[in-house]
Every structure is written in C-alpha cells, then in structure tokens.
Amino acid sequence: MKTLPRTDVVIVGGGWTGLLMAKELGARTHLSIVVLERGAPREPNGYRTDMDELDYAIRLRMMQDPSLETVTLRHHPKQRALPMRKLASFLPGTGVGGAGEHWQGFCPRFSPDFFELRTRTVERYGAKRLPEDCDIRDWGMTYDELEPHYARAENLMGVSGKAGNLNGKILPGGDPFEGSRSTEYPTPPMKMPHLAEMFRTAAQSIGLHPYPIPAATISVPYTNADGIHRPGCVYCGYCERFGCMIGSKAQPSNTLLPVIARHKNVSIRTRSNVRRILHDQSGKHPHARGVVYIDSTGQEVFQPADLVILSSWTLNNTRLLLLSGVGEPYDPVTGKGTLGRNLTHQVSLGATVFFDKPLNRFMGAGSSGIMVSDFDADNFDHEKLDFLRGAKAVVASSGARPIASFGAVPGSVKARWGSEWKKAALRYYDQTGSIHFSGEHMAYTSNFMDLDPTYKDHWGDPLLRFTLNWQDNERKMAEFLGARGQEMARAMGATEISLPGKLGNYDATHYQSTHIQGGTIMGKAPAESVLNPWLQHWSLSNLFVLGASTFPQNPSGNPTLTILAQTYRTADAIVARYLKQPGPMAG
C-alpha cells in the first residue's frame, strides 16, 4: 500500500460538516487540509437543467448508491436482519455536498430543554415516568453555549424566518416557544402559498402559535460574511431530492466550495472512499495515524495526518469506527460499550386533508410553509398524558410534483386503480394537502447499530446493522398527534381527512425523514459516550466526529442547522485550544 505525504488535517466526507470545517480551518490556519469524498465532484450552480421528477425524486439520482453499500434492519435481536435493498425510509447523499445538496432546507433551532433532556424531564415528571429501557441523555452542552454558533450558521446560509424570542422578548409572528435568540433571522420569511396560508389562519383560530418555517431556500437575495451571494427563491418546487436550479437554497456547493477555493491549503479529493482509520493505542498518547482509502484510480493508499475529522454522516461515522476498531462496540446484553448505541430516527406522521378548492400546489419551495410548536418538546403539560415529549406540526407548500402526488383519494373511495380511482384522484389532485408531524425519538437501550454478520458491501466489508423499532412512547405520541391533526384539518375547512394509521413496526419501505442519528454520541463521561462535548473522541484525542451521529437522542426539528452550529463550536475549540495544546480537551 502506497503511503502519501503527510497532511496536517484529513477530513473524511465532503458534506455540510466536513466542508464547513475545511473552510474554517482553511481560512483561520495555515494547516494543510485534505478532504476525502467518496462521490463525484460538483460545481456551484450545476443543477440548471435538472428539474426531472423521475430521475431525481423517484429514481433518487443524487443519493448514495445502495448497490454499493446499504444497511440491514431488524426490529429486535431475535429477528433476522435483512438489507434495505433500496433506499426509502431515509436518503443519504453522496458526492461533494452530500445530502446538503438535496435537502429541503428547514432550519429550526432545537428547544433549549432538549440539550438537557434527562435532567429536565426527571425534574418535572420524576424518574419513574421514563420508560424502562429509555436512554435519554444530557448533551454536555447547553443551548446557551450553542446560541452564538446557531446565529453564525443562520448567517452562513442567510436563513429566512421570523424571531419569536429575541433576547428574551417574545415577538408576534415567530415561535414563542423557541430559546432566546441574540439576532433576528438574516432574511425575512418566505412567501406563503395558499395551503400554508390556510394553515396559518386555521392554527391561529384554534389558539395555536403558527410561524414561518425557518428556511435555507431564502426569500430575498443575500450576501453572507464570506461574500457569497445567492438569489432569492422563485418557488419552482424542485428542492428536496434536487439541487437548487438557481442556487437560492444554501448548499455546500454554492455556500462553502467557492470560499474553500480561495484557500490554497485545502484540497478536495473526490471518488476517494475511506475504508479505515489507522491508529496507535500502544503508547502513552493513543492517536489516530491517518486514514486508508481507495483513490479514484482504484488504488488503496494511506494518508497520514496529525488530525482526523470524521464527517461522513451517521452511517459511515459509526461504521468506520466499528470497522477500524476504535472504541468499544455497544453490547445490548451487558449494556457495556458506547459505540453504536442510541440509534434513533425521527417520528414522522402525516394526515392527508382534502379540500373543495384548487390549491395550485405545484408552486412552492422546500421550506415555504408554516410550523406550530404548541405540541412540541415539553411545551404542553404531560402530567396527565401517557407519553413524554412531542412533535412539530408542519404544513409545507414544497411544490407538488405529479408522479409522487398523484393518486391520493379520500377514505370513502376504496379503489386504488381503474376508472373510479382515476376519477377521484383527478378531482382531488390539486385539492389535497398534508399536515405533517415530525416528533422526537427518545433513545432506548434496545435500538443500536453494529456490524452485520452476513451481508457485505461492494468492497467486502460488513454492512452496518440496525436493530430498531418504535416503542409505546412513540405509538402513544402518534395517537395524540393524530387527534391534533384532525382538529387542525377541521379548522382548515377540510372536507375529508385521512389520519395516519397506528404506528406499527419501524418501516423501511416508505420515506420518513433523513434524520437517522446516534451511534457516536457526545456526553459528559467516557463510560457513557464516544465523544466529549467538543466532539473529540474520548480515547483518540486527535480524532473529531461531526454530524448528527453525535446526538444522544432525536429532536423534533431538522438537524442541519444544529450540526453546522456544533461544527463552528468545534472549529473554534480546535483553533483556539487544541492546536495550541494538542490532547484531550475534557474529562
């Protein structure tokens, strides 16, 4: 195996977090930085002619290729895990920019109590209310510590929205439940298409507190602190599963790549597939030595580095540590080991609502719409309820595309094909909307990731295995939310409503969200977590891990803004502290 010349920093994965770290270290230090990305290169604004629903939204052209690597799933250890042969319930990206290219652009901050979930929940309801195998944690970092970095991440992307709590003052039109913000959103809220406007009016009429979805598909032209200029959104309706045709949606390719290009100390190597982290744990100072990857010519090479940043999304962050023998894999029987535990997937439910007027719903943007946080987090009293935590209710006018949208009919129509179905589906095609709930998923000792004993990837390495299922807390929450959905739909003037069915077993066959989290969680003590609160590995202090694999449990909100804020915070810590005195920063 060829050994390449040493570099100061190697970054594994060229998505939002890896490229943000490359930009920050590239601009603020003279370190030599190499980013290794398994997929293809991308150009800023390279999506002009790609508004093709079939290839992109149905055949998933921008996503990870499951013929090369996927994950296996079982609901419990007695079931046989089988591969997710096609991507469906979540959609990881590949190529420069990763999933950050084809995301929808929702940018909510997490509720302050979410960062201290165990402490706050036990304080209010007592430890007895926690389900037996519940494993919720405090993050070891508070909302207040993260707040300035949230503001930086919003400024990087020019997020559109309306503050609900500015320096402790509650403002009308925003989210009154949000944590105190130091700044207003960089750009005003997006325009509201008809369906979203109907939801805002309806939510207000029943005493809820609707607010515009904080959006990375920005409302007006914006120039950020790096001098990156992006145009305002034109509501073409091709956001999620697509790259933005005009570069309005913040994507790593249009927001980070042009800045990275200014810094000669950063290089990005594409089609470079990292297989192992090499490490030396024999001496006094255990450390990562660098990474082995397969380069674009198919050669296996070793890239030595002083600092290793792992930013390859939840799946490969966890799998690379497992394959490389870094840390102790979690054992659900003994409860020992930290690597792979706290696997979560956001709870995702939708009520389909039918109206008697056209909605012109082909117009919209990924994140133009309305959110409601009245039934989120601990914003409502759970004393007399049979579950903990909650969900955001969302009505997004994301731009309905016909292949995915055609065919919804009210429950009174039983046919799913033929003339009767066609007639009803045509009538309701533009008269259908959805009230979506994205709910918190608490961590449990029974949900985790490890290496599959049977199935292998294209290179012969074991696939990652999910042991994952819903529990009573999510099922009861879903029931409660269904009833709230019905009240909201009635207030919108819906003529018919199809409520979500009962939450059964975890279903790998339909899309929920791309918010798979955990596996390399952060926390306050080495016995409990893989990383310290600076996202630094507890035993290899020159290894940092970025992204939602670090979340101890799953929030109700979309994770991108928070992982960017965390990355800023870690970049600061590396520059201000680690580089001056390499070694453990906590513990």
Partner 1 sequence: MQRRQFLVLSAASIGGVLVYSLDRNAFRLAAEERSVRIPLRFFTQDEAMIVAAASSRIFPSDESGPGAREAGVVVYIDRQLAGPYGRDRYRYTAGPFEEGVEEQGYQGEANPRQIYREALRNLAGFDQLTPADQDQALTKIEDTEFFKLLRSHAIEGMFCDPIHGGNADMIGWQLIGYPGPRMSNLKDVDQHFGEAFRPKPAGLQETFGTETRLHPSEDEQ
197 sits near partner 1 (criterion: CB under 8 A) = yes
Out of 4, 171, 323, 363, the only residue in the binding site for partner 1 (CB under 8 A) is: 363
User: Binding of partner 1 at residue 511 (CB under 8 A)?
Assistant: no
The size of the interface with partner 1 (CB under 8 A), counted in residues, is 68
Q: What are the residues whose beta carbons fall under 8 Å from the beta carbon of 426, sequence distance 6 or more?
A: none
Could you say whether residue 430 binds partner 1 (CB under 8 A)?
yes
Please state the φ and ψ torsions of residue 436, each to the nearest 5 degrees: -105, 140
Q: Pick from 6, 30, 59, 229: which binds partner 1 (CB under 8 A)? A: 59
414 scored as a contact of partner 1 (CB under 8 A): no
C-alpha separations of 536 from 359, 403, 532, 541 in Å: 49, 44, 5, 6
Site for partner 1 (CB under 8 A): which residue of 51, 166, 323, 586? 51
Residues 368-397 that bind partner 1 (CB under 8 A): 368
Closer residue to partner 1, CB minimum distance, 380 or 421: 421
Task: Name the one range near partner 1 by CB under 8 A: 289-297, 363-371, 436-444, 484-492.
Answer: 363-371
Of 130, 406, 410, 486, the one binding partner 1 (CB under 8 A) is 406
Q: Is 54 in the site for partner 1 (CB under 8 A)?
A: yes
CA distance linking residue 321 with residue 329, whole number of Å = 9
Question: Which is nearer to partner 1, 38 or 191 (by Cβ)?
Answer: 191
Position 518: which residue type? G
Q: Which of 167, 297, 412, 509 binds partner 1 (CB under 8 A)?
A: 509
Supply the DSSP string of 259-312, one letter for each residue: HHTT-TTEEEE-S-EEEEEEEE-SSSS-EEEEEEEE-TTS-EEEEEEEEEEE-S
- Shortest reach from residue 367's CB to partner 1, in Å: 13
Give the range of 47-55, 120-128, 146-154, 537-545 binding partner 1 by CB under 8 A: 47-55
User: What x/- string results for residues 318 through 357 when contact with partner 1 is judged by CB under 8 A?
Assistant: ---------------------------------------x
Q: Crossing angle of helices 560-573/143-157, nearest 10°?
A: 110
CB-based contacts of 524, cutoff 8 Å, min separation 6? 138, 140, 532, 533
Residues present in the chain in total: 587
In the block, tokens 């055949």 appear at 59
Alpha helices by DSSP H, listed for 163-297, are 194-205, 252-255, 257-260
For partner 1, the binding residues in 124-183 under the rule CB under 8 A are: none
Per CB under 8 A, 461 contacts partner 1: no
Contacts of residue 325, Cβ cutoff 8 Å, sequence gap at least 6: 279
Query: CB of 9 within 8 A of CB of 25?
Result: yes
Q: Cβ 467 to partner 1, closest distance in Å?
A: 13
> With binding defined as CB under 8 A, does residue 31 bind partner 1?
no
Helical pair 16-28 and 560-573, crossing angle rounded to 10 deg: 30
User: Which one-letter amino acid corresponds to residue 401?
Assistant: R
580 scored as a contact of partner 1 (CB under 8 A) = no
User: Rule CB under 8 A: is residue 426 a binding residue for partner 1?
Assistant: yes
In the three-class reduction of DSSP (H, G, I as helix; E, B as strand; rest coil), residue 420 is classed as helix
Residue 444, strand partner residues: 134
- Active-site residue among 209, 287, 436, 515? 515
- Annotated active-site residue 515? The verdict is yes
Only one of the segments 15-23, 118-126, 346-354, 506-514 lies at the binding site for partner 1 (rule: CB under 8 A); that segment is 506-514
Q: How far is CA 32 from each of CA 5, 10, 22, 26, 570, rounded to the nearest angstrom?
A: 11, 9, 10, 8, 18
By CB under 8 A, residue 40 contacts partner 1: no
How far is residue 384's CA from residue 395's CA, in Å, rounded to a whole number? Answer: 28
Smallest distance from the beta carbon of 247 to partner 1, in angstroms?
13
Backbone angles phi, psi at 160, to 5 degrees: -90, 135
CB of 210 to partner 1, least distance (A): 16
Task: Determine if 43 is a binding residue for partner 1 (CB under 8 A).
Answer: no
Shortest Å, Cβ 122 to partner 1: 33
Angle at 437 between CA 433 and CA 440, to 5 degrees: 165
Distances (CA, A) of 200 to 203, 482, 491: 5, 18, 10
The contact set with partner 1 (CB under 8 A) reads 48-55, 58-61, 65-67, 70, 73, 75, 79-80, 82-86, 88, 191-194, 197, 232-238, 245, 357-358, 360, 362-364, 368, 402-403, 406-407, 416-419, 422-423, 426, 429-430, 454-456, 504-509
**Residues that are catalytic:** 515
